[in-house]
């Protein structure tokens, strides 16, 4: 068995035998991916035998059969997900290791890990692929695809929210993430200053908006998604579990006729859904815990993690809103941290501890090393810490204002007969009063 490490988490090898699986487990692997269709040659053990051997050795097993001419986007997506889902090193094999290696590249890992073509060719050569063949394959399949989007964050100081414009430098296409509609609760006034700033940047940079995305139904501000859709014509989207949040809050507001089916957005994303911003692949990860519907958008090498992880000096988002769960939040955070160490992490809020200037960008490696809610924590200790802290936090001052707007996709309530819009505030509906 010749194992070829590609990264710390990922290695490839040629055909392995059932008796090798225990040794792989001993070497620290947690998942085996088999990229060979059954029956390529007589001596091959076959997927069923490999699966049984993996089970016996305590390894996860994933079969994604491909040939060198039939590697699809969907295969690559499943391959990438199997790596993310694994709680430790992954070994992928085919006959020689070449297909497994190419699948790793197709799944976008080489871009995220910052591998140059030269480094990929060196790795390919170690697997036994001719350098010229590797070069030709990379030119055809890696191409000029940019996986490093430009990310511009716009800090909104009233609620400490960060809004993002994420663009593909190759095509000028962009997405807006978590835009804020300004609201002054003291006077009841709304305005579009924040959203207009995003539009001004988009115009200045000559970008074209492909998506208006929310990571979750926000509890502290109104979403400006409908305003921006009016201005740009771009579709709006959110995580598919928003219907669960709608069901929960329609009761709190006593709106029996509220359509809790997500029709308020153009698209609802399920876990693992893929789409593109220009030429850059986007993957949606379901990240519940802070809310029932939260999602992370992984856009090239950048993950928009909203209120799961804050900056490493600020810990994590709270998990005590209706439908929140510290345990689910821990699991969502683990999935985010299993992205490559260099992944850029963009958080949804910054509350400026000790009055430092607002910051919103970190990396997976920095989070693992410096976030006290992560470093040396177990699920149990995190849940205890999170719940203890949540017990001290008052509800966000706008939670009752914001949810009724945000479960309607950010639309303000319909005007009454006098042409004026009114919010509805339920009394004694939420736990967590701090007197």
Ligand X SMILES: N[C@@H](CCC(=O)N[C@@H](CS)C(=O)NCC(=O)O)C(=O)O
The residues of the shown chain that bind Fe ion, judged by CB under 5 A, are 307
- Give which of ligand X, Fe ion, none residue 272 binds (C-beta under 5 to 8 Å, depending on kind): none
Could you give the 3-state DSSP secondary structure of residue 67?
A: coil
The helix (run of H) or strand (run of E) holding residue 180 is strand 180-184
Residue 10 β-bridge partners? 90
- Name which position in 349, 359, 373, 401 contacts ligand X (CB under 6 A): 349
Binder among 15, 31, 159, 294 for ligand X (CB under 6 A): 159
d(CA 289, CA 285): 13
Q: How far is the CB of 390 from ligand X (least distance, A)?
A: 8
Nearest distance from C-beta of residue 260 to Fe ion, angstroms: 20
DSSP string, 321-377: STT--HHHHHHHHHHHHTS-TT-EEEESB---GGGPPP--EEEHHHHHHH-TTTTT-
Residue 318 touches which of ligand X, Fe ion, none (Cβ within 5-8 Å per kind):
ligand X
Q: Which helix (H) or strand (E) holds 183?
A: strand 180-184
With binding defined as CB under 6 A, does residue 48 bind ligand X? no
What is the Cα 246 distance to its own chain's centre? 22
- Name the percent of the chain in helix, strand, coil, to the closest 5: 35, 20, 45
Q: Is 49 in the site for ligand X (CB under 6 A)?
A: no
User: Residue 163: helix, strand or coil by DSSP?
Assistant: strand
User: How many whole angstroms separate alpha carbon 288 and alpha carbon 141?
Assistant: 34
CA gap 287, 291 in Å, rounded = 9
Distances, alpha carbon 269 to alpha carbons 6, 140, 219, 243, in Å? 32, 30, 20, 11
Residue 281 interface partner, choices ligand X, Fe ion, none, CB cut-off 5-8 Å depending on type: none
Q: Work out which of 20, 220, 301, 350 binds ligand X, going by CB under 6 A.
A: 220
For residue 108, the partner it binds in ligand X, Fe ion, none, with Cβ less than 5 to 8 A by kind, is none
> What is the per-residue binding string for ligand X in 296-335, x denoting contact by CB under 6 A?
-----------x---------xx-----------------
> What would the x/- binding string for ligand X be over residues 243 to 282, using CB under 6 A?
----------------------------------------
Shortest Å distance, C-beta 129 to Fe ion: 46
- Sketch the per residue contact string, 375 through 394, with ligand X: x for CB under 6 A, - otherwise: ------------------x-
Can residue 51 be called a binding residue for ligand X (CB under 6 A)? no
Binding to ligand X in span 390-419, by CB under 6 A: 393, 396-398
Q: Give whichever of 126 and 396 is closer to ligand X, judged by the CB atom.
A: 396
Instruction: Please name the residues in contact with 265: beta carbons below 8 A apart, sequence gap of 6 or more.
Output: 225, 236, 237, 238, 242, 409
Q: Which of 58, 78, 75 is nearest to 66 (CA)?
A: 75
Query: At closest approach, how far in Å is the CB of 164 from ligand X?
Result: 16
Nearer to Fe ion, 151 or 219 (CB): 219
> Is residue 139 involved in binding ligand X (CB under 6 A)?
no
Q: Decide whether 174 or 405 has the Cβ nearer to ligand X.
A: 405
The alpha carbon dihedral of 307, 309, 313, 315 has a sign of positive
Shortest distance, position 317 Cβ to ligand X, whole Å: 4
CB of 227 to ligand X, least distance (A): 20
What is the binding site for ligand X (CB under 6 A)?
159, 219-220, 307, 317-318, 349, 351, 393, 396-398
């Amino acid at each position: 068995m010749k194992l070829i490490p590609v990264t710390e988490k990922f290695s490839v090898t040629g055909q392995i035998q059932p008796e090798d699986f225990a040794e792989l487990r001993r070497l620290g692997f947690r998942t085996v991916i088999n990229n060979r269709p059954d029956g390529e040659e007589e001596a091959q053990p076959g997927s069923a035998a490999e699966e049984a051997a993996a089970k016996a050795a305590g390894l996860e097993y994933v079969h994604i059969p491909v040939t060198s001419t039939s590697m699809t986007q969907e295969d690559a997506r499943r391959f990438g997900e199997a790596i993310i889902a694994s709680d430790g090193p992954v070994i992928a094999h085919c006959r020689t290791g070449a297909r497994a290696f190419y699948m790793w590249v197709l799944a976008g890992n080489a871009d995220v890990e910052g591998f140059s073509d030269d480094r990929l060719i060196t790795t390919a050569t170690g697997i036994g692929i001719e350098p010229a063949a590797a070069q030709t394959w990379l030119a055809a399949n890696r191409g000029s695809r940019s996986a490093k989007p430009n990310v511009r964050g716009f800090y909104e100081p009233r609620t400490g929210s960060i809004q993002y414009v994420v663009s593909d430098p190759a095509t000028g296409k962009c997405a807006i993430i978590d835009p804020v509609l300004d609201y002054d609760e003291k006077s009841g006034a709304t305005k579009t200053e924040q959203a207009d700033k995003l539009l001004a940047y988009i115009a200045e940079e000559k970008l074209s908006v492909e998506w208006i995305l929310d990571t979750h139904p926000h509890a502290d501000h109104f979403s400006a998604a409908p305003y921006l859709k009016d201005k740009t014509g771009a579709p709006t989207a959110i995580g598919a579990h928003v219907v669960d949040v709608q069901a929960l809050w329609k009761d709190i507001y006593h709106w029996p006729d509220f359509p809790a089916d997500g029709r308020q957005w153009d698209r609802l994303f399920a876990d693992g859904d893929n789409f593109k911003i220009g030429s850059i692949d986007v993957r949606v990860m379901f990240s519940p815990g802070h809310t029932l519907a939260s999602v992370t958008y992984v856009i090239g090498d950048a993950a928009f993690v909203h209120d799961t992880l804050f900056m490493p000096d600020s810990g994590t988002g709270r998990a005590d809103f209706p439908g929140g769960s510290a345990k689910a939040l821990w699991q969502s955070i683990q999935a985010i941290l299993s992205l490559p160490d260099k992944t850029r992490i963009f958080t949804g809020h910054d509350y400026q501890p000790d009055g430092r200037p607002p910051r919103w960008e970190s990396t997976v490696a920095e989070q693992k090393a410096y976030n006290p809610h992560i470093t040396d924590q177990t699920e149990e200790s995190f849940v205890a810490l999170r719940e203890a802290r949540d017990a001290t936090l008052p509800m966000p001052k706008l939670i009752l204002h914001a949810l009724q707007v945000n479960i309607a996709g950010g639309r303000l309530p319909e005007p009454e007969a006098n042409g004026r819009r009114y919010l509805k505030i339920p009394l004694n509906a939420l736990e967590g009063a701090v007197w």
